[in-house]
Amino acid sequence: MLTDIQRLQAMGVSVWQLRHPELYGREQEVIQLPENCQLLLVCDDPLSEQDAWLFGNILKSMKLDADKARQLPHAALAALGDHHLVWSWYIGKPEVMIDGVRTLHSLPLAQMHDNPAAKRDLWRQICQYD
């Protein structure tokens, strides 16, 4: 079953204006990631300088540059638009997961600095996709 927007697109209508937008409720903003973004770190807290250093080193081990990664809080995932992600890395328990991408889970980066077991666990998850 086609939605109203799909019907308009099928008719070649790319611009429209609603006469009564209040009938549709408030539209949720869509988050668009850059096309080159391959890894999304899903983490509610901003990274400290030390956490960012560790994150950068982990990205290097995955052969990814920092410009190919972004961070979003868990609550923002519901608004994620089309993407070209290869990896999603969740800190904590996700309520929403991104389908069709390689998935990682770990402790917060702040807890991984002095925790070799947590680093090994993350590395095992990364290697399972090779």
Going through 43-118 in order, the beta strands assigned E by DSSP cover 69-72, 87-91, 102-106
Q: Is the dihedral of CA 110, 114, 120, 121 positive or negative?
A: negative
Considering the domain boundaries, does residue 83 fall inside one?
yes
How long, in residues, is the chain? 130
Q: Is the pTM of this model over 0.95?
A: no
User: What is the band of 87 on the pLDDT scale with cuts at 50, 70, 90?
Assistant: very high
Residue 39 tokens read as 């890894």
User: What is the band of 11 on the pLDDT scale with cuts at 50, 70, 90?
Assistant: confident
Which tens digit of pLDDT belongs to each residue from 24-56?
555 557 889 999 999 999 999 889 999 999 999
Residue 76 sits in which domain range?
39-127
Give me the number of domains the chain comprises. 1
Give me the CATH number covering residue 82: 3.40.50.10220
